[in-house]
Amino acid sequence: MNRNIGIRLSGVILFVLMSAVSAFAQDRAAFGQDRGDTSIVQDGVDTQHGERGGRCDLRSLRGSYGYTMVGGVNDGSDRTLHTHATFAGFGRIVFNGRGGHSGVEVVNLASHFINRSYVGTYTVNADCTGILRRVEIPASNAVVRFVIVDDGKQVFFMQIDNPDAAIQGTAVKQ
């Protein structure tokens, strides 16, 4: 008898949860329709047009940012196993608001610490996404995609030019 009550109760709870999820989805869909576009609104932020409603430009990144990054890099020891070495780092980057940047960082690649500096360029799209290119000293290059969030107070980024690396991070305005 108790087993039947438990099964019925589980069914009622499942029905209530499904109804709540459905209602939530309908509310979100209606909100998007009221706006007259197909934007996705997440936590009050229009993810298609950015926090500034699609008004980001080079000046959206100006000044210094501190950042951390983590990930993995194929260490090349066995290409068939795709073994990865852990990667972590932190640094400081300065954007000039006109498409140029410079910075310094310390990275830990498989317990080997590397201090390096870099310079490069960046572009910013109206939707607050962009691409950063950098030349590191000692010589190495990186291409990074990013999105500007919180009115330029933070930047989420990910390296995109190396198929053997999965590196991502967050920069915070200083």
Range in 43-52, 100-109, 112-121 the model is least confident about = 43-52
Q: What is the pLDDT of residues 129-139, one digit of tens each?
A: 999 999 987 66
Q: What SS3 state is found at 43?
A: coil
Phi–psi pair at 6, nearest 5 degrees? -65, -40
Q: What Cα–Cα distance (Å) separates residue 120 from each residue in 27, 131, 138, 143, 160? A: 44, 11, 14, 10, 16
Q: Rounded to whole angstroms, how far apart are CA atoms 166 and 159?
A: 7
CA-angle at 59, arms to 53 and 60, nearest 5° = 45
Instruction: Give residue 13's pLDDT.
Output: 33
Q: What is the pLDDT of residues 3-49, one digit of tens each?
A: 444 434 334 333 333 333 333 333 433 334 333 333 444 454 554 44
Residue 68's Cβ-side half-sphere holds a number of Cα atoms within 13 Å equal to 2
pTM, whole model, 2 decimals? 0.66
Query: 58-173 domain in CATH 3.30.360.10?
Result: no
